[in-house]
């Protein structure tokens, strides 16, 4: 839509997703209003669609007899619903949330920042990036970006980009949208020698137990018939993968 | 120190109230607005499918298993459990709309939700909510002016009232039943309407009978009482009767003074009994005398309707004289009886004169299962009537009762306003067009508020089309082109999806409904937009 705005004093926005956008433009004392850029429009559209979905779900639950409380969820700010058993339920966290939401610019400020960053960089000549196959956490859910990558994107804003170094074989696969220069700045994935020190007995036994739980959960998931149980099993698998990853990191550090 | 570039929330903006009470829960600025808008849109989604004649119904099942089928926005909002302050604010608006006009509750909630959604489009891009609220105000004034121009003042003859009632009833029940009820409702209101006096809808009694089908609902020009005579010898059917309405006890009552009496023989005991009854017998005698005085030379019947009780001995005495007596009639029927049959309600049996009697053409009793109903019909000029609602089961009866109530309100509003407005979304399309033309004359960025208001009003024709199964955008475009070309008020024809001239199709809305709608939704939407902080500083863990 074509609208003309006059200068508007910028409002302080304290929410998670929008403050990321505002931080991009300028600091809070800026009195000049500029129309949102294209990437920001995409973010706004994505946010709107998410809100639409939440409203629909909420309406459906209200009809089922859930009570609309006066409280908001601590994580996402959506209005909480309470069922007949007095259990509180947040439609956004339980139903809309998924692993993909880490990438969703409407939700995650880091993903939003990285998306905008990517567009900016896409206009620059892109150097080749070697992609190495993922070497650790074989059971992690495929395609899930690590939060360190997003941090890397954000930290890329701080200073000028260091020249793209040869990515070490130890760096993990990057999803396509990340700027290729970040693998070298990985604070965690240090290009350390692949030879890890001798595995600590407690760590390895912890790994065993977690792997075992993971296998059990996968089997249960295959046989489960209810949606609730499947959702819980998937989150169990996710947390097992997370713990495995942290264990591997402990190994290597 | 939190890293601002990572986009973490700025935890160091303490609001003032947190300094006083750290446990206070606060949602600030944009988060507060987002929460409120989300609550309003949640409600809007619930009610969307209910709008209009082709809207769907909602079946409400209570904990005990009772079923209620309804389409009324007000009823739905009250059955849903809502503790969220904004959502309950909207529910109260619906109640107010229902109290004042009786109709338009669903439209109200839809428009509020849409106003907030349109405002959100601008707010999320950086426009201050105050400017939008100003735009809403300016738009509302213009819309009210358009309403004044569009209203059609005409004589409220039976034909127009039938159209108004049918429009209102068709949005509540299915079409054939709506047509049937229309006649009944309009006749009822016309019957009780006294010129130059406000219509009192209490004069129309709504009586339920659980038998036959809903198409047997009819208007009785008289009264239906939900009990019968209690004496087996009394006549079940009396024609051309005098009616005595009274509120005096014909029962034996205990004395309020404790007294004692000693008797020594059976004879004295007999005298005691006779003396106790003497009081009542005097009264009964008076009634009998009156009856004989009035009915001596003709074969008219005599009916006594007493609000208090009649004890068996008195009933016996009256039955012997051929008087039909009903006891313990409802209090609200007292006023209605005198209006229906004439006569005066008597408080005591002294000074009974023929002038205090009323007339009824037919009084008969009808037994239905275990219940008896007494019909008092064929009164001369009844100023009080009864709508007899028949249905096979409880939820049908409730549905018809609610619909009838709304229909009565609609007719009453039409008569009191003296004017009507085209329905079927025609009004909204016309207002949209006028607001767009008026927009350049509004100063500054409030123009955007006007634009938002105009777009929000269009939700009504859109939802009407959507509920009938047609594409909302396409129908809307057709309506707008048609309105521009012809200048006539065109609404959505729900059977074909094409534009139709609402006045020719006989679809009329109440003027007061539209006026109340515009006022209340603007006020509520503006207030919600201007909410900057939601504070709950009391017992923050108060579980409902």
- pLDDT tens, B426-444? 999 999 999 999 989 888 8
pLDDT of residue B22: 63
Sign of CA dihedral A207, A213, A219, A224: negative
User: Angle at CA B393, nearest 5°, toward B387 and B397?
Assistant: 30
Is this model's pTM higher than 0.80 or not? no
Please report residues of A whose CB lies closer than 8 A to that of B41.
51-52, 55
Chain B positions touching A59 (Cβ under 8 A) are 42-46
Distance CA B501, CA B503 (A): 6
Question: CA of B475: how far to CAs of B433, B451, B494, B501, B502, in Å?
Answer: 16, 20, 11, 14, 15
**Which DSSP symbol is given to B214?**
G
Which parts of chain A are beta strand (E)?
67-72, 79-82, 88-90
Nearest to A77 among B29, B31, B82 (CB): B31
A51 touches chain B (CB under 8 A): yes
- In order, the DSSP letters of B274-321 are HHHHHHHHHHHHHHHHHHHHHHTTS--EEEEEESS-B-HHHHHHHHHT
Pick the residue from chain A with its C-alpha nearest to B125: A36
- Taking the C-alpha atoms of residue B111 and residue B434, their distance in angstroms, rounded to an integer, is 18
Using a CB–CB cutoff of 8 Å, tell me whether A11 touches chain B: yes
Q: At what angle do helices B446-457 and B105-123 cross, to 10 degrees?
A: 140
Q: In Å, how far is B134's CA from the nearest CA of chain A?
A: 16
Asked if A35 lies within 8 A of B125 by C-beta distance, the reply is yes
Task: Please tell me the distance from the alpha carbon of residue B309 to that of residue B243, in angstroms, as a whole number.
Answer: 17
Digit-coded pLDDT (tens) for B451-501: 999 999 999 999 999 999 999 999 999 999 999 998 888 888 888 888 988
Residue B55's pLDDT is 87
Residue A68 is nearest to which of B41, B45, B84, comparing CB atoms?
B84
For residue B177, the tally of other CB atoms under 10 A from its CB is: 21
**Among partner residues B6, B41, B121, which is closest to A55 by beta-carbon distance?**
B41
User: What is the rounded CA–CA span in Å between residue B338 and residue B344?
Assistant: 6
CA-to-CA separations, B98 to A132, B112, B402, in angstroms, rounded? 67, 16, 12
Q: CA B535, CA B28: separation in Å to the nearest integer?
A: 9
Q: Which helix (H) or strand (E) holds A120?
A: helix A109-122
- Please, which contacts does B321-324 make with residues 24 or more away whose CB atoms are closer than 8 Å? B321/B288, B321/B291, B321/B292, B322/B235, B323/B234, B323/B287, B323/B288, B323/B291, B324/B229, B324/B234, B324/B235, B324/B238, B324/B241, B324/B363
pLDDT value at position B27?
55
Distance between CA atoms of residues B38 and B464, nearest Å: 23
Please give the Cα distance from A40 to B466 (Å, whole number): 32
Q: What are the pLDDT digits (tens) for A162-200? A: 444 444 433 344 333 444 444 444 443 444 344 444 556
Across the interface, whether the CB atoms of A112 and B7 are under 8 A apart is answered yes
Q: Which of B43, B82, B448 sits opposite A3 (nearest CB)?
A: B448
Q: Which of A72, A85, A91 to mutate to test the interface with B (most CBs of B within 10 A)?
A: A72
Least confident range of A75-84, A140-149, B263-272, B528-537 = A140-149
| Residue A136 phi, psi dihedral angles, 5° rounding | -120, 175
| A45 inside 8 A of chain B by CB | no
- DSSP designation for B346: B
**pLDDT tens figures, B127-139:** 888 999 999 999 9
Q: Least CB-CB distance to B126: which of A33, A55, A158?
A: A33
Which chain A positions have a beta carbon within 8 Å of B6's beta carbon?
Answer: 109-110, 151, 154
Q: Within an 8 Å CB–CB cutoff, is residue B7 touching chain A? A: yes
Q: Does A33 touch chain B (CB under 8 A)?
A: yes
Whether A5 has a pLDDT exceeding 80, the answer reads: no
Q: Which two tokens stand for residue A118?
A: 């990517």
Residue B433, burial from CB neighbour count under 10 angstroms (0-12, 13-18, 19+): middle
What separation, in Å, do the N-terminal and C-terminal C-alpha atoms of chain B show?
A: 38
Contact B41 A11 (CB under 8 A): no
B-interface mutation test, from A71, A117, A155, most B Cβ less than 10 A away: A71
Instruction: Please name the residue of chain A whose CA is at the shortest distance from the CA of residue B58.
Output: A63
Active-site residues of B, by number, are 72, 105-106, 406
Tens digit of each residue's pLDDT (9 = 90 or more) over B380-407: 777 888 888 888 888 888 888 888 988 8
Question: Are the Cβ atoms of A77 and B35 closer than 8 angstroms?
Answer: yes
| Contact status of A71 with chain B (Cβ, < 8 Å) | yes
Band of the pLDDT at A143, cuts 50, 70, 90? very low
8 A C-beta contact, residue B287 and residue B324:
no
Angle at A193 between CA A188 and CA A195, to 5 degrees: 115
- Are B5 and B500 spatial neighbours (Cβ–Cβ below 8 Å)? no
At CA B536, angle to CA B534 and CA B527, rounded to 5? 30
- For A41, the closest chain B residue by CA position comes to B125
Cα(A216)–Cα(A139) distance, integer angstroms: 13
**How far is Cα B405 from Cα B457, in angstroms, rounded to an integer?**
27
B336 Cα distance to chain centroid: 20
CA B372, distance to chain mean position in Å, is 28
- Tell me the per-residue pLDDT of B28-72, one tens digit each, with 9 for 90 and over: 666 778 888 888 988 898 899 888 888 888 888 877 888 888 888
Residue B58: list chain A partners with CB under 8 A. Answer: 63
- B523: which 2 tokens? 């006020």
């Amino acid at each position: 839509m074509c609208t003309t705005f006059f200068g508007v004093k910028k409002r302080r926005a304290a929410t998670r997703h929008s403050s990321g956008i505002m931080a991009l433009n300028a600091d809070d004392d800026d009195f000049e209003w500029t129309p949102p850029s294209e990437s920001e429009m995409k973010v706004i559209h994505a946010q709107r669609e998410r809100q639409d979905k939440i409203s629909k779900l909420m309406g459906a639950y209200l009809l089922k007899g859930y009570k609309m409380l006066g409280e908001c969820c601590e994580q996402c700010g959506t209005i909480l619903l309470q069922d007949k058993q007095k259990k509180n339920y947040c439609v956004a966290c339980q139903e809309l949330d998924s692993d993909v939401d880490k990438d969703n610019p409407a939700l995650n400020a880091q993903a939003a920042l990285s998306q905008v960053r990517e567009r900016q960089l896409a206009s620059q000549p892109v150097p080749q990036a070697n992609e190495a196959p993922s070497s650790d956490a074989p059971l992690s859910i495929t395609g899930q970006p690590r939060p360190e990558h997003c941090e890397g994107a954000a930290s890329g804003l701080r200073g000028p980009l260091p020249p793209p170094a040869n990515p070490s074989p130890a760096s993990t696969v990057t999803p396509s949208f990340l700027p290729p220069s970040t693998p070298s700045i990985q604070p965690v994935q240090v290009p350390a020698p692949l030879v890890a020190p001798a595995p600590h007995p407690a760590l390895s036994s912890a790994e065993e137990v977690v792997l075992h739980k993971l296998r059990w959960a996968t089997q249960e998931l295959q046989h489960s018939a209810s949606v609730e149980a499947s959702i819980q099993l998937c989150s169990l698998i996710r947390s097992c993968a997370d713990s495995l990853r942290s264990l591997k990191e402990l190994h290597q550090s | 120190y939190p890293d601002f570039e990572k986009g973490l929330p700025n935890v160091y903006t303490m609001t003032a109230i947190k300094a006083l009470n750290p446990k206070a829960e606060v949602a600030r600025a944009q988060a507060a607005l987002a929460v409120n808008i989300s609550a309003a849109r949640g409600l809007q989604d619930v009610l969307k499918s209910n709008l209009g004649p082709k809207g769907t119904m909602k079946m409400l099942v209570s904990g005990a298993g009772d079923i209620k089928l309804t389409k009324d926005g007000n009823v739905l909002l009250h059955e849903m459990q809502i503790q969220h302050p904004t959502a309950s604010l909207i529910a109260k608006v619906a109640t107010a709309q229902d109290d004042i006009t009786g109709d338009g509750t669903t439209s109200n909630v839809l428009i509020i939700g849409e106003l907030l959604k349109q405002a959100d489009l601008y707010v999320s891009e950086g426009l201050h909510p105050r400017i939008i609220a100003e735009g809403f105000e300016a738009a509302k004034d213009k819309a009210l002016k358009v309403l004044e121009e569009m209203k059609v003042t005409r004589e409220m003859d039976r034909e127009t009232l039938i159209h108004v009632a049918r429009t209102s009833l068709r949005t509540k029940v299915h079409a054939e039943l709506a047509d049937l009820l229309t006649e009944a409702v309009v006749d009822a209101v016309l019957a009780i309407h006294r010129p130059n006096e406000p219509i009192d809808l209490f004069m129309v009694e709504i009586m339920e009978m659980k038998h036959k089908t809903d198409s047997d609902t009819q208007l009785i020009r008289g009264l239906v009482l939900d009990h019968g005579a209690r004496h087996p010898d009394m006549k079940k059917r009396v024609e051309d009767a005098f009616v005595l309405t009274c509120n005096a006890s014909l029962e034996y009552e205990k004395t309020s003074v404790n007294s004692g009496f000693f008797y020594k023989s059976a004879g004295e005991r007999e005298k005691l009994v006779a003396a106790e009854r003497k009081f009542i017998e005097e009264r009964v005698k008076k009634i009998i005398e009156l009856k004989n005085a009035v009915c001596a030379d003709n074969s008219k019947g005599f009916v006594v309707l007493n609000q208090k009780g009649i004890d068996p001995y008195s009933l016996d005495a009256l039955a012997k004289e051929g008087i039909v007596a009903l006891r313990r009639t409802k209090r609200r029927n007292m006023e209605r009886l005198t209006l229906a049959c004439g006569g005066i309600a008597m408080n005591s049996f002294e000074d009974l004169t023929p002038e205090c009697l009323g007339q009824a053409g037919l009084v008969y009793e009808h037994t239905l299962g275990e219940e008896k109903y007494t019909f008092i019909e064929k009164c001369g000029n009844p100023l009080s009537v009864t709508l007899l609602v028949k249905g096979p089961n409880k939820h049908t009866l409730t549905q018809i009762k609610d619909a009838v109530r709304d229909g009565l309100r609609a007719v009453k509003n039409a008569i009191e306003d003296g004017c009507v407005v085209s329905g079927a979304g025609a009004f909204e399309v016309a207002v949209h067009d006028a607001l767009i033309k008026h927009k350049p004359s509004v100063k500054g960025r409030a123009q955007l508020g006007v634009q938002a208001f105009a777009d929000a009003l269009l939700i009504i024709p859109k939802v009407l089309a959507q509920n009938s199964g047609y594409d909302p955008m396409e129908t809307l475009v057709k309506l707008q082109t048609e309105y521009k070309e012809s200048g006539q008020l065109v609404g959505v024809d729900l059977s074909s999806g094409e534009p139709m001239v609402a006045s020719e199709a006989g679809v009329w809305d109440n003027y007061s409904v539209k006026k109340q709608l515009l006022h209340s939704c603007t006020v509520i939407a503006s207030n919600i937009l201007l909410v900057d902080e939601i504070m709950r500083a009391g017992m923050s863990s108060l579980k409902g």
